[in-house]
Chain A
Amino acid sequence: DAKTTQPPSMDCAEGRAANLPCNHSTISGNEYVYWYRQIHSQGPQYIIHGLKNNETNEMASLIITEDRKSSTLILPHATLRDTAVYYCIDFRLPGGGTSYGKLTFGQGTILTVHP
């Protein structure tokens, strides 16, 4: 079962920032925060990940709270092509006990970007 919780859906106007929240209530010290998205029927696409510092790449920014219990994915200038299901995942690297290596997807947030 997924360990993270996300709102089921969000809307955003094209050109505006989309801020997608995620709660990581049971995240442990050896787990990273990963974000993926899935556009229509395509395979999931990696977006960004972090441990405890804020991260930025060409796709998005990731804000992780100091206690690591929540994170926010920011798409700074959303476009229509960003309409997708967005998943946040707690990912355990090897050495962290059992159940490492695999991604556990929840229901995700359906982001709809409007013209």
Chain B
Amino acid sequence: GAGVSQSPRYKVTKRGQDVALRCDPISGHVSLYWYRQALGQGPEFLTYFNYEAQQDKSGLPNDRFSAERPEGSISTLTIQRTEQRDSAMYRCASSPLDRGTTFFGQGTRLTVV
């Protein structure tokens, strides 16, 4: 596609429910990143993939958070047993292999009530 596509754009979920956020990167981009952004703060790194391999997951806050990219293209970030503190904007980004020229999607606004 023309840009990084994320879905849904908005998600409201009840505390304790699981959510799955989807990212479709720019075609041909090998590296895919997930970031989380709180209001008024810069994006915070969560995890990233090269192809289907998860290179770094040091930013995932705890084991309720996981991500996968099974075929090296679309990625899913899953949050299990959501908590109110998980409410944030979740942004996906992609780039050619390991480059800092990264293109961000519009994000998914997650609200846990």
Of chain A, the residue at the smallest CB distance from B55 is A101
Interface members, chain A 66-91 (any B CB < 8 Å): 85, 87, 89, 91
- Residue interface bits B32-62, CB-to-A below 8 A is 1, else 0: 0101000001111100101000011001000
How many Å lie between the Cα of A108 and that of B40 in the bound state?
10
Stretch with Cβ within 8 A of A (4 or more), from B11-19, B63-71, B77-85, B98-106: B98-106
Contacts of B104 in A (CB 8 A): 43-45
Contacts of B43 in A (CB 8 A): 44, 103, 105
| Minimum C-beta distance from B91 to chain A (A) | 6
The 24 listed contacts between A and B (C-beta, < 8 Å) are: A38-B42, A42-B106, A43-B4, A43-B91, A43-B104, A43-B105, A43-B106, A44-B93, A44-B104, A46-B100, A49-B100, A94-B98, A100-B98, A101-B48, A101-B55, A101-B98, A102-B33, A102-B45, A102-B59, A103-B35, A103-B102, A105-B43, A106-B42, A108-B42
Contacts of B55 in A (CB 8 A): 101
Contact of B42 among A45, A87, A99 (CB under 8 A): A87
B106-A91 in contact (CB<8A) = no
A102-B41 in contact (CB<8A) = no
Further contacts, 13 of them, CB under 8 A, given A87-B42, A101-B56, A108-B42: A32-B100, A43-B4, A43-B91, A44-B43, A49-B100, A49-B101, A91-B100, A100-B98, A102-B48, A104-B45, A105-B43, A105-B44, A107-B42
